[in-house]
Amino acid sequence: MADLSVEFCGVKFKNPIVLASGILGVTGDSMAQVVRNGAGGVTTKSLWPHEHLGHANPTIISTQNWMLNAVGIPDGGPEKAAEEIARYRKAVSAPLIANIVGGVMDDYEAIARAVVLMNPDIIEINISCPNVEDELGKPMACSISKSAEVTRRVRSIVGQIPLIVKLSPNVENIVSIAKSVMDAGADGVTAINTVGPGMAIDIDSAQPILANKSGGLSGPAIKPLAVKYVYDIYKNLKCPIVGTGGVLTGRDAIEMMMAGATLVGVGSAVWYRGQDVFGKIVAEMDEWCDANGVKKIQDLIGKVHA
């Protein structure tokens, strides 16, 4: 059996598979179940500094190759989040990444202050959701200066807690955005959030299927994009990366690590392979390592660049 543990921004994970934000990361119990199902750690859904309503249903459509979602980041506010994170802590001991979001800079500062009190192992700043553009405008992750500023502001509040920034694939040059957040005080990045937004139309009613009309694209179809962005960021910056996007199998996860990811985010795969997908992926990674004489999975990080 290979050693599947990895260290990410100074935090030890028993394996590289982490729950991506927005999928099952809603309650303490659902996050604890993800760990019992084999994940090395979890990411909460995006947390706001105040209650936030999501979009009307239908919010998700999935096909064999892709998903579109316009959930719209609903949240019950910091008090509720603190309760759920405390429940998670009581149930399991795997690292928790608290994902935070806001509409304006002040929101990010407010939720950063609240989330520090919840003792997360890592804080992830979501500046890259493409399905709230009507409400919030273009994601901050599309601007070098805004990405850097939000990182600087949150860093000044969270002290030494490891800080990562979740990047958008919907930009001209993801490496320059990654560099700007690393220069502004981030310890690492997550690549990528959903792609688009995209649209699916029901031709029988001649209406967009999602109530929001468009939504962020995830699932198997986006994996080659995610792999390329992780590859480019690692090649240029060698920073810690959570590689996320379209990972369904152990082979997919190993591909993401070879591109440069230390942790691998898994989200849409829950729809494709069930809630125990985390353990399935970990078992497949272990099997692949055994078959290929890999003793430590850490040795695979960035291997394609060697």
Ligand X SMILES: Cc1cc2nc3c(=O)[nH]c(=O)nc-3n(C[C@H](O)[C@H](O)[C@H](O)COP(=O)(O)O)c2cc1C
Residues contributing to the site for ligand X (CB under 6 A): 20-23, 45-46, 60, 67, 69, 71, 73, 99, 126, 129, 166, 193-194, 218-219, 222, 244-247, 265-269
For 280, the token pair is 């399935």
For ligand X, give the closer residue by CB, 101 or 294: 101
For ligand X, give the closer residue by CB, 58 or 185: 58
129 an active-site residue?
yes
Q: How far is the CB of 206 from ligand X (least distance, A)?
A: 25
For ligand X, give the closer residue by CB, 220 or 294: 220
Q: How far is the CB of 47 from ligand X (least distance, A)?
A: 9
Cα 229 to Cα 11, 225, 278: the distances in Å are 23, 6, 23
The number of helix segments (H) and strand segments (E) in the chain equals 10, 16
Catalytic residue among 129, 142, 239, 289: 129
Q: How far is the CB of 194 from ligand X (least distance, A)?
A: 5
For 108, the token pair is 């990010």
Q: Which residues contact 137 (CB under 8 A, 6 or more apart)?
A: none
Q: Where are the alpha helices (DSSP H) in the chain?
A: 28-36, 78-91, 105-116, 133-136, 144-158, 174-183, 223-237, 250-259, 269-273, 277-291
For ligand X, give the closer residue by CB, 73 or 184: 73
For 21, the token pair is 């934000």
Give the Cβ contact number of residue 258 at 10 Å.
20
Q: How far is the CB of 295 from ligand X (least distance, A)?
A: 28
Q: How far is the CB of 129 from ligand X (least distance, A)?
A: 6
Residue 55 and residue 131 in contact, taking contact as beta carbons nearer than 8 Å:
yes
Query: Edge-to-edge strands of the sheet including 67-69?
Result: 60-62, 67-69, 214-218, 195-199
Cα 264 to Cα 75, 90, 146: the distances in Å are 24, 25, 26
- Closest residue by beta carbon to ligand X: 22
Residue 75 and residue 52 in contact, taking contact as beta carbons nearer than 8 Å:
yes
Q: How far is the CB of 130 from ligand X (least distance, A)?
A: 9
Bridge-based pairing state of the strands 207-208 and 67-69:
unpaired
* Residues that are catalytic: 129
